[in-house]
Amino acid sequence: MRFILLVCWVSVVLQLVDFTTALAEEAKPATIDMTAALVESDGRVIKDCPPTWDAKADPESKTCPPLTIANAANYGVSFAIETDRQMDWRTKASLRAVLDKYRDDSAAVLTHKQADDLMERIGGLYKLMQNGDKVIVAAMKILQPAEYSKLIKD
């Protein structure tokens, strides 16, 4: 009986160690290239065409610059989305401050919460747009690689 209790206790301790290790990994900041262009699954760069872009004159959007993770996050923070009604102004200001600080940084050190918050904004905006799913998935690959891996495992 004592042996069984000892085995159970060791099992619980090992699970706690695994859980603590996972939390420590999650707490590590992530280094993000905010200047990275978002890329579709087929390798094509997603373009960031301005409102003045003429699709008839440039059907392949060759004159449009690549959409970077920073620009996608900027649009997500700048435009109002559904969750803004419940968002505290300090939270939105914090997101803006993160973007202002790291916008042109190729090695931005973001906490997982900052990356998740930016991803939430990107998802909230681009889910409403045609082909926005491509932007969301491309952004997940950069901001939430572990979450993206779960998507492709299923």
Please report the pLDDT score of residue 20 as a whole number.
Answer: 46
Please report the pLDDT score of residue 59 as a whole number.
Answer: 87
pTM of the model: 0.77
Spans of all domains in the chain? 29-153
Contact call for residues 38 and 135 (beta carbons, < 8 A): yes
Contact call for residues 30 and 53 (beta carbons, < 8 A): no
Please report the pLDDT score of residue 152 as a whole number.
Answer: 81
* pLDDT, tens only, 29-70: 899 999 999 999 999 999 999 889 888 898 888 899 999 999
For the chain, which residues score pLDDT lower than 70?
1-27, 154
Q: Cα separation of 147 and 111, whole Å?
A: 15
DSSP string, 24-41: HHHHSPEEE-TTPBPB-T
Please report the pLDDT score of residue 22 as a whole number.
Answer: 43
Contact call for residues 105 and 34 (beta carbons, < 8 A): yes
